[in-house]
A and B are shown apart, each in its own frame.
Chain A
């Protein structure tokens, strides 16, 4: 095994799909009981592509299949049908993990280890040399701001601290693709802001981020594209800015105009002139969109939502 932390991107046969990092094709997951009877249809024929360098958000109410999707993409679950592909390879292949970082819903870490031991342990799972590990562990502890608590056992950590160390372990291998399951839960407002900044910074470094959350404000702030899931079905998929744009409405902001001038504006606008301070479409908040989709889905189950697409 090579000592390198980051595996080189592998050459792919199909040049066109080069920048597709994550792909779900007709991905379906049905939970069955012991006798093979269907219990829950957790995910239904999901088609999804996440491209290199974007921040992709999976949205949905509780039990909508977000975490199932992530687990399928990680190979923690096997699809009932369809395929989950990571870096163009099957998600159950272990090799993909070399270039991947995962922060689970709750930080499932060994409580009897301290921060340094935890990161060192995960570093060893990447076959890093002792020197690399020392350096990397130091960097990451600095990054998540746990220098003061690095010798304490994780069982003494608060939720937010556990979250931070969880993030650090997800970044130990300097991954190309980072999957974050509810990254901001348990963090205080400052921690949340830091987490969001970090996600954006990772994107700027050319990394791909897949996050799932039901904290809509967070998603709206950082995601480039989102998919909205409801009861295991994909309801909406597209760029955040275009999804939230209200197409047939224009909004104008202006200041310092007299009454006449304001009256005149209408003419000016009618003749496409004037000094506009801002002009554009008003946006919904993501919350409005989300609630609308959920309402529509409840009214007409099984249909793709009719909100405008990318």
Chain B
């Protein structure tokens, strides 16, 4: 699976982001106080305004001190009850309807049906939940204010903290109930969708060795769920099918009372949560010295390509390798992309080799190459054995190499992958090879994936509630929607902003205003616009992008909360990622609640 950004460890992540976070916090605090001061100064003069700001801050602290869980939960209960009365469960009906019709369109015979099913249900759930959170949260407070039911609330000793947080908690609670039901439905849908069984299609064929001795059987399964397997059985009548769509079945032949029965088991390897252990990737250029990979012309530079039949290669260095952890050898999985400069034999993969090396240059020991045929798109398993035969060309005094004694240096090991065919290219990224340390429970991973959706829902709810504390319902909804849209395209906006500021045109087409000129004139993206007002347009674009940059920095990057690709591709969601997502949500919850408090507190409810 594609892992464009390395996930830093939790501690590294905190250190990395702490400075930026504190800077934003200071800017928000100072900016907020200044705005409050300004507003108050216009109506009451600077002296009084200073006093008002000080009093508001002081009151906020005091009211936080007298926070009551019971009052907050009362507000949450109200929000829950109100949402329920608004018939939120209609969302569930919609969801079930989607699932019912989805089976018509989801092709169980596709390359990877598990991925298809999981990414479909999770994406559907995600969008439904975000839409629901958007509507619930942005309509509630304005309705209260419009109906003036808020009058009977704010004339009770309930603090603005409790109102804001209570709303968030209440909507989160109802969202959680709905999401949990959706998750269960999704799980059933996925399992029912991908789990299948086969029968044996025809009579088993006997497999004989050169001497005509029976050594086993072979056969084919029936075509079910859009695919079939072939299998071979040993003399005991036990065997496995081949790997199709990423899974295989256990096959058993039993003879009872002269009758032969062959049973095909349930699929293995469909619903996975692999725990990968990634190494560090570096490249060797065609002369065998460390260098950069070459571009084969793809715009997406995620994978680096290197040439076959040369000394070029890709080296992964893994650390923390011990005999205790991997007593049977290293369980390697890799998916290597191929770029063919000529067609060759298209049915056969491109040959590559894999060499295990000791990373310590003083003990330059390496194993004999292990040859393999590159399989794209689905990870290929390969167990690196614990012992290697010595290299024949390396003199006669060589002994059998032991993986842990000879090739591991202080827990580190290197694996060099070369492409063995001339003028063909291998393309790899760091996440394309890993040690599969073990598997976690798929169900647990599936749940973790839904927690990602849940966190997004909480964030949307936070924004909705806070916007609705000062804006009318429709405006609050649009504002919240804007944060969602912006949040899903954070990276693109930051990239564009960088391009517009630096003028390096790394994003072709320029800022919004420039694009607005190019589009109706049907100009291509890179042609220079010859126009005397161009500096003005660029200045305006810089202004717009400055605002967009600020917004993108302040708004959560929703794309970082999507764990769908992990679950769908069968990888365990790393704990660090998960912890970071939770931490980000918590921080947003706290900061946004603060903002909401001040907005609600300084608002004239009855105006």
Closest to A122 in B: B156
Q: Which of B68, B74, B155 contacts A76 (CB under 8 A)?
A: B155
Q: With a CB–CB cut-off of 8 A, which chain B residues contact A31?
A: 607
Interface check A230, CB cutoff 8 A: no
Q: With a CB–CB cut-off of 8 A, which chain B residues contact A102?
A: 151-152, 155
> Which one of B63, B151, B607 has the highest number of Cβ atoms from chain A below 10 Å of its Cβ?
B151
The B-contacting residues of A in range 89-130, CB under 8 angstroms, are: 93-95, 97-98, 100, 102, 104, 106-110, 112-113, 121-122, 124-127
In contact, A124 and B604 (Cβ under 8 angstroms): no
Chain B nearest CB, measured from A214 CB (Å): 19
Q: With a CB–CB cut-off of 8 A, which chain B residues contact A1?
A: 66, 68
Interface check B17, CB cutoff 8 A: no
Interface check A276, CB cutoff 8 A: no
In contact, A97 and B605 (Cβ under 8 angstroms): no
Q: With a CB–CB cut-off of 8 A, which chain B residues contact A169?
A: 152
Q: Which of B75, B148, B156 contacts A108 (CB under 8 A)?
A: B148
In contact, B154 and A76 (Cβ under 8 angstroms): yes
Chain B nearest CB, measured from A167 CB (Å): 12
The A-contacting residues of B in range 29-76, CB under 8 angstroms, are: 42-44, 59, 63, 66, 68, 70-71, 73-75
In contact, A124 and B74 (Cβ under 8 angstroms): yes
Interface check B189, CB cutoff 8 A: no
Interface check A71, CB cutoff 8 A: yes
Interface residues on B, range: 20 to 34
CA distance A104 to B156 in the complex (A): 13
> Which one of B70, B155, B158 has the highest number of Cβ atoms from chain A below 10 Å of its Cβ?
B155
B577-599 vs A, Cβ < 8 Å mask (1 yes, 0 no)? 00000000000000000000000
Closest to B52 in A: A78
Whether A94 contacts B159 in the complex (CB less than 8 A), given A76-B604, A108-B151, A113-B81, comes out as yes
Majority SS of interface residues in chain A?
loop
In contact, A127 and B70 (Cβ under 8 angstroms): yes
Whether A122 contacts B157 in the complex (CB less than 8 A), given A31-B607, A108-B147, A110-B82, comes out as no
Q: With a CB–CB cut-off of 8 A, which chain A residues contact B63?
A: 94
Interface check B77, CB cutoff 8 A: yes
Chain B nearest CB, measured from A17 CB (Å): 21
Q: Which of B42, B66, B154 contacts A36 (CB under 8 A)?
A: B42
Interface check A257, CB cutoff 8 A: no
Chain A nearest CB, measured from B335 CB (Å): 55
In contact, B606 and A77 (Cβ under 8 angstroms): yes
> Which one of A74, A80, A93, A125 has the highest number of Cβ atoms from chain B below 10 Å of its Cβ?
A125
In contact, B157 and A97 (Cβ under 8 angstroms): yes
Q: Which of A71, A95, A107, A112 contacts B85 (CB under 8 A)?
A: A112
In contact, B149 and A110 (Cβ under 8 angstroms): yes
CA distance A75 to B606 in the complex (A): 9
Chain B nearest CB, measured from A286 CB (Å): 28
Closest to B149 in A: A108
CA distance A112 to B73 in the complex (A): 18
Q: With a CB–CB cut-off of 8 A, which chain B residues contact A80?
A: 43
Interface check B78, CB cutoff 8 A: yes
CA distance A102 to B150 in the complex (A): 12
In contact, B152 and A126 (Cβ under 8 angstroms): no
Chain A nearest CB, measured from B51 CB (Å): 12
Whether A121 contacts B155 in the complex (CB less than 8 A), given A36-B42, A109-B149, comes out as no
Q: Which of A76, A93, A113 contacts B151 (CB under 8 A)?
A: A76
Interface check B27, CB cutoff 8 A: no
Interface check B244, CB cutoff 8 A: no
Closest to B152 in A: A108
The B-contacting residues of A in range 164-190, CB under 8 angstroms, are: 169, 173
Closest to B602 in A: A78
Q: With a CB–CB cut-off of 8 A, which chain B residues contact A77?
A: 604-607
The B-contacting residues of A in range 243-286, CB under 8 angstroms, are: none
Closest to B59 in A: A93
Interface check B153, CB cutoff 8 A: yes
In contact, A112 and B156 (Cβ under 8 angstroms): no
Q: Which of A75, A112, A126, A127 contacts B82 (CB under 8 A)?
A: A112
Q: With a CB–CB cut-off of 8 A, which chain B residues contact A104?
A: 148, 151-152
The B-contacting residues of A in range 156-210, CB under 8 angstroms, are: 169, 173
A58-92 vs B, Cβ < 8 Å mask (1 yes, 0 no)? 00000000000001001111101100000000000
In contact, B606 and A76 (Cβ under 8 angstroms): yes
Q: With a CB–CB cut-off of 8 A, which chain A residues contact B154?
A: 75-76
B137-152 vs A, Cβ < 8 Å mask (1 yes, 0 no)? 0000000000111111
> Which one of A76, A109, A122 has the highest number of Cβ atoms from chain B below 10 Å of its Cβ?
A76
| Shortest Cβ-Cβ A-B pairs, 7 listed | A124-B74, A76-B606, A125-B156, A108-B148, A97-B157, A102-B155, A112-B85
Which residue numbers of A lie inside 8 Å of B, CB to CB?
1, 31, 36, 71, 74-78, 80-81, 93-95, 97-98, 100, 102, 104, 106-110, 112-113, 121-122, 124-127, 169, 173
Which residue numbers of B lie inside 8 Å of A, CB to CB?
42-44, 59, 63, 66, 68, 70-71, 73-75, 77-78, 81-82, 85, 147-159, 604-607
What are 14 contact pairs spanning A and B, CB under 8 A?
A71-B606, A76-B151, A76-B604, A76-B605, A97-B155, A104-B151, A108-B149, A112-B85, A124-B74, A125-B71, A125-B153, A125-B157, A127-B157, A169-B152
Q: A36-B42, A108-B151 are in contact. List 15 more A-B contacts (CB 8 A).
A: A1-B66, A75-B155, A78-B604, A97-B155, A97-B157, A100-B155, A104-B151, A108-B147, A108-B148, A108-B149, A112-B85, A125-B153, A125-B156, A126-B157, A127-B157
